[in-house]
Structure 1
Amino acid sequence: MKPFLADNFLLNSSVAETLYFDFAAKQPIYDYHSHLSPAEIALDFRFKNISQIWLQGDHYKWRAMRTAGMNEESITGNASDKEKYLAWTKTVPKCIGNPIYHWTHMELKRPFGISGKLLSADTAEDIWAQTESMLAQREFSARGILKQMNVKYIGTTDDPLSSLEYHKQMQDDASFNVSVTPSWRPDKVFKIELDGFCEYMQTLGKLANIDIISFDNLLTALDRRIQHFEIHGCRTADHGIENMRFAPVPDEYTLNQILKKRLAGNTLNDIEINQFFTGVHVWLAEKYCQLGWVMQMHIGPQRNNNSRIFRKFGPDAGCDSMSDKPFSQPLARLLDAMDVAGKLPKTILYTINPAANEMLATMVGNFNDGSIAGKVQFGSAWWFNDQKDGMERQLEQVAQLGILSQFVGMLTDSRSLLSFTRHEYFRRILCNKIGDWVVNGEAPHDINMLGGIVNDICYQNAKTFFAKPE
């Protein structure tokens, strides 16, 4: 029987241990998609207690706490930081089998160095005091944690309206050796059907110094904001897509009429919504190609299912789930429209529903053209899939239906500075998977070759893939 969270955690063979400790564990972290606050990093924020760095904005934990019977006051309400933390310590022991249980104790181990002590109501006071004392030290400021975790790159998630002032501050700080760049998140631009679209167009137009009354005006505004992001080091666009759409667009006149109809307050039909989605995406893809940006598509969440909580707290409150709506056909037609026009950028596709894993793993092979290794990728196990068996399934399907050695690896997709241990979690699972293949005679016992592949997946592939062209 292995001790819990021992050095060989998730590593079930000597081959896996060698691959992890001699290769994976030494690699820096290239976190190309996160929801970290640029302000916290730029200002080198000091957290007063572990509740602030652990629980604020973490809908994974909020969801678990509700399920464990904690009241909303101690989750998102006006309870004190300490009271929310105590509610969390009562929740964690009930989470055996959920990756949250692993992540929680891994985050105590790194960076706090707390091991051999399980979080519970019995240990709550000791861990609170110990972490509170450590968070007061310079090594546990926002930047201090990044240094401890060996983070080299972070891609934040930023609305086109963002000033990017904190990114500029970090760009100009020669003493800071972590690259933190914005990621363009234009969801509110292409979701023309949503409430608030017209108001967003007004705000976008004012910021871009143009009245958006036509589709051409919109493209001008977007181009100006894209250039703003480019100046601030942007390398990637991230599209959150609940419903994948496609409809042929006859000409720009059609898009012009659709936009004017919506801005006049009228309701669009499904074909018009799909045409606008398609037209904006094809145009954006061309811009990404010109600038060398990577296009990421996170596909398939069913958001804000609980209207009571949505009305009270807004989005990202822990009430999203998997959608089972098929999307292979519109996705293929959209990618094809980009490819035919020579406008398909480097692309990563993610699914929230593992039922679509094999579909995506085969879809990406349709649009790789030899110009760039792994130009179109099936992205890492995302959201509800970023646990042990979800990562294992994703790795197996990338390997069996594509080429694993070209995979760009893991990301945190997190709002917490403690979440970088998810890279360790992924790396251990990756090394164990390859180790199993060796033990079973399915891969050669060539440690240098396999170790090189591990190094690439953990760091080098992403660094190369997201690099801007010379």
Structure 2
Amino acid sequence: MKRFMDEDFLLETETAQRLFHEHAEKMPILDFHSHIHPREIAENRSYRNLAEAWLADDHYKWRLMRADGVEERFITGGRTPGRDRFQKFAEMMPKAIGNPMYDWVHLELARYFHSHVPLSGKTADEVWDLANIALSQPEMRAQAILERSNVKVLCTVDDPTDDLKWHKAIKTSGCKTQVLPTFRADGALTIEDPDWENYMKYDLGQAADVDIVTMADVREALHRRLDYFAAQGCRIVDCGVECVRYHEVEEFELDDIVGKYINGKGTPTKLDQERYRGALMLFLGKECSERGWILTIHYGALRNVNTKRRTQLGTAAGFDSISARDSAKGITLLLDALDRLESLPKVILYPANPADNAVIASIVGAFPSDGTRGRVQQGAAWWFNNTRKGIEEQIATLASLGLLGNTIGTVTDSRSPFSFPRHEYYRRILCNYIGRLVECGAYPDDDEMLAQIVDDISYNNAARFLGFEDLVVEEGKKNA
């Protein structure tokens, strides 16, 4: 029997162990989708205890605690002492057997706090005290965590109306990690949201200094904000939608839609929503193409399905689910429209529904580009798929239907600076998958070829895809 989460955790063969320890483990991190608030990095935040570090914003942890019947005051906090909240979390942990959170938590304990104690209600005191001693040290402040995690680039998720003052502050703070904003366009896309009118008029409109009345005004406002984000190094536009639909639509029809709903005249019909959203995503794709940026689409999630809890706790609190709506035709129509306009940028598609793995893996091969490896990519196993099984299935599907060696690896998609071991988790699973192929004779045991594949998927492919050619790490320079 293997020891609990030892150095060869998830590495079932000698080849997998060699590939991970000699190659994947040594590669830096390029985390191009993170929900860490840039203020934490700009102010070089310190964390007083594990409740503050782990439980303040992590809806993944909140969901598990709720599933264990824990009272909300121990989950999202309020006046409840952090030690009491952590106790409830620790008591829940043994029941999370097979859940990625169990693995992530113990990887974080090992990597940042040098603790290999299985977390439970009985060990909560020991882990709490050990971690809090570590957290009091300067090397556990936000910027130092990024450095010790070997994070070269971090892309945060930011609303188009953001003034990006914290990104500006980071640049003068001495932070050794390059921290860049991402243009998250959800606020402009969700025309069905009751707050859309106010957002467009008073948030986006004022930030861009545009009086939004027509579809052309929407485009102009977003164009100005894209320019503003460009000045801070942005190179990704991100769209989060439940379902992707695309319709060919006339400009006067779009003007009617915008003019009607921005003045609060009724609720948008499904068709109006789809027409507007598709046209806006087409515009954003064209902007990405002109700027040499990347368009990312996160789709397939039903958000805030519990109305009562949303009213109590707001959005992004852990009350979401997978949507089963089909987006395949909408995605292909959108990509095809951009391609016909010679405006198809690099694209990353993130499906929340694991049933879409093969769908997306087939779509990415239908839109190639001369001279660009994998212009359209399937993003890492996202959200509900970010599990051992989900990652294995995504890797296997990509390998079966395309070129696994061109995939751009994973991201944390997390609000915590302690989440970077999720890259390690992915890399271990990747090396294990490749190791099995080698040891069953399905791929040659050629260390040079294998090292290139593992290094590229772990980091280099993402660096090239995002345009950080100067950060690509060649073999023999991993420890430089």
Name the CA distance, whole Å, in 2 between partners of 1:67 and 1:261.
Answer: 42
Moved more, 321-330 or 262-271: 262-271
- What are the Cα deviations for residues 401-430 of structure 1, in whole angstroms up to 9, with x where unaligned? 010111000100000111100000000000
The letter of the residue matching 2:91 is K
1:292·1:469 contact (CA, 8 Å) conserved in 2?
no
2:41·2:143 contact (CA, 8 Å) conserved in 1?
yes
The letter of the residue matching 1:9 is F
For the residue of structure 1 that corresponds to 2:113, the secondary structure is coil
1:127 aligns to what?
Answer: 127
For the residue of structure 1 that corresponds to 2:158, the secondary structure is coil
For the residue of structure 2 that corresponds to 1:273, the secondary structure is helix
Task: Report the alpha carbon displacement of residue 468 of structure 1 after superposing the two structures with TM.
Answer: 6.6
1:235·1:468 contact (CA, 8 Å) conserved in 2?
no
Distance 1:149 1:52, change over 3 A: same
- Number of positions where the alignment pairs a residue of Structure 1 with one of Structure 2: 467
2:431·2:454 contact (CA, 8 Å) conserved in 1?
yes
Q: Does 1:168 align with 2:168?
A: yes
- What are the Cα deviations for residues 190-231 of structure 1, in whole angstroms up to 9, with x where unaligned? 221211111011121111112111222221111111011000
Q: Does 1:376 align with 2:376?
A: yes
Name the CA distance, whole Å, in 1 between partners of 2:302 and 2:347.
Answer: 22
Name the CA distance, whole Å, in 2 between partners of 1:343 and 1:29.
Answer: 30
Structure 1 portions without partners, runs of 5+: none
| TM-score, normalisation: structure 2 | 0.95
1:201 aligns to what?
Answer: 200
1:321 aligns to what?
Answer: 321
Name the CA distance, whole Å, in 1 between partners of 2:74 and 2:345.
Answer: 45
| TM-score, normalisation: structure 1 | 0.97
1:111·1:148 contact (CA, 8 Å) conserved in 2?
no
1:36 aligns to what?
Answer: 36
1:413 aligns to what?
Answer: 413
Q: Does 1:64 align with 2:64?
A: yes
2:246·2:279 contact (CA, 8 Å) conserved in 1?
no
Name the CA distance, whole Å, in 1 between partners of 2:238 and 2:207.
Answer: 21
2:55·2:76 contact (CA, 8 Å) conserved in 1?
no
Name the CA distance, whole Å, in 1 between partners of 2:93 and 2:304.
Answer: 25
1:293·1:468 contact (CA, 8 Å) conserved in 2?
no
2:190 aligns to what?
Answer: 191
Q: 1:429-440 maps to which residues of 2 (within 5 A)?
A: 429-440=429-440
Name the CA distance, whole Å, in 1 between partners of 2:469 and 2:345.
Answer: 12
**Percentage of identical aligned residues:** 40
1:19·1:450 contact (CA, 8 Å) conserved in 2?
yes
Name the CA distance, whole Å, in 2 between partners of 1:67 and 1:143.
Answer: 34
Name the CA distance, whole Å, in 1 between partners of 2:458 and 2:43.
Answer: 29
Moved more, 349-358 or 120-129: 120-129
Name the CA distance, whole Å, in 2 between partners of 1:246 and 1:361.
Answer: 20
1:249·1:278 contact (CA, 8 Å) conserved in 2?
no
Task: Report the alpha carbon displacement of residue 269 of structure 1 after superposing the two structures with TM.
Answer: 2.4
Name the CA distance, whole Å, in 1 between partners of 2:468 and 2:91.
Answer: 46
Name the CA distance, whole Å, in 1 between partners of 2:383 and 2:218.
Answer: 32
2:473 aligns to what?
Answer: none
2:284·2:295 contact (CA, 8 Å) conserved in 1?
no
Name the CA distance, whole Å, in 2 between partners of 1:456 and 1:468.
Answer: 13
Task: Report the alpha carbon displacement of residue 469 of structure 1 after superposing the two structures with TM.
Answer: 9.3
Q: 1:322-401 maps to which residues of 2 (within 5 A)?
A: 322-401=322-401
The letter of the residue matching 1:357 is N
The letter of the residue matching 2:188 is V
Structure 2 portions without partners, runs of 5+: 471-480
For the residue of structure 2 that corresponds to 1:192, the secondary structure is coil
1:109 aligns to what?
Answer: 110
Name the CA distance, whole Å, in 1 between partners of 2:335 and 2:147.
Answer: 39
